[in-house]
Amino acid sequence: MAVALGSALWFAAVCRAQGTNPNFVVGKEQQQEQDQQLKQKQLSQSPSDNAAPKVDPKEEAAYKAFFDASSQDADKRIQLGQDFIKQYPSSVYAEAVHAGVAHAYYTKQDWKNFYAEADKALALKPDDVDLLTMVGWVIPHTVVGNEPDAGEQLDKAETYEKRAMQVIPSLPKPANVTDDQFAALKAEKLVEAHSGLGLVYFRRQDQDNAVKELQQATQDNSNPDPTDFFVLGASLQNLGRYTEAADAYTHCSQIAGTLQDRCKQSADNAKKLAAQKK
């Protein structure tokens, strides 16, 4: 019998590496990561780094207020961001603000506005790897199969993840990070892209490509997403590769979270199917 993600699991692991449901609370580490991404945008888009005219001190102060707003207060950050864009629509910081507002909507699990702000940011900077990987990862985790535009959304996610994979190797290294840190950051983004793309393929019932992508997402990953292991196990099981499926499920069962018990049960079932196949 083919394995599929049940409706309760369609939204699993919206928070990467936690395997939670849509009602998750964004953790402190993730909030810090989002703030760091905003900081990187601020540094990379600073007018002092290029030939752009000096920014009005009031504009600088408004951006600083937006950036300094607590990531735990998503509503405040959203309001500050909207106010900034309304007052400074052509600002050098506009893309970073739209991206920051998108992150805030992500925290609120407000997907409609998350996608809208991400689209605005990507219109200004099409190769924003953080947003390409993030949007491409969120879509297959949240899209519902019976939605009329589900196929179109999955196509969009595939395009974004593949574009990110093309851009990541040629990203310029920021001056404030070491070579090792930069290599680790790029590797993390590639993992996220492979993870999102793997789930896109699984949604399409393209088990072979799902396996290839999710193996790359989980291999040599010190902080794997349990959902990646679960879906990898399901794809392998659908292909009749029961022993490998049991191994993937077992890895999932060793990560604390809401999938832990289900993965243990799935591992036991896959082992039984492997024994029957012999």
Token pair listed for 234: 């399901």
For residue 79, name the pLDDT band (cuts at 50, 70, 90).
Answer: very high
The answer to whether the CB of 246 falls within 8 A of the CB of 9 is no
Percent of the chain exceeding pLDDT 90 equals 71
pTM of this prediction?
Answer: 0.82
Token pair listed for 68: 């300094």
In a domain, 60, yes or no: yes
Spatial CB neighbours of 226, under 8 Å, sequence gap ≥ 6: 13, 17, 18, 19, 252, 255, 257, 259, 260, 263
Site of tokens 């959203």: 78
CA–CA dist 54, 112 (Å, integer): 35
Average pLDDT over residues 213-235: 94
In a domain, 255, yes or no: no
In a domain, 125, yes or no: no
In a domain, 1, yes or no: no
CA–CA dist 208, 236 (Å, integer): 8
- The boundaries of the domain holding residue 76 are 25-108
Average pLDDT over residues 77-96: 95
For residue 199, name the pLDDT band (cuts at 50, 70, 90).
Answer: very high
Residue 53 has what pLDDT?
Answer: 55
Residue 37 has what pLDDT?
Answer: 52
Residue 222 has what pLDDT?
Answer: 85
Average pLDDT over residues 235-245: 97
End-to-end CA distance of the chain: 17
For residue 170, name the pLDDT band (cuts at 50, 70, 90).
Answer: very high
In a domain, 51, yes or no: yes
In a domain, 30, yes or no: yes
In a domain, 76, yes or no: yes
Count of domains observed in the chain: 1
Average pLDDT over residues 214-227: 92
In a domain, 154, yes or no: no
CA–CA dist 233, 244 (Å, integer): 7
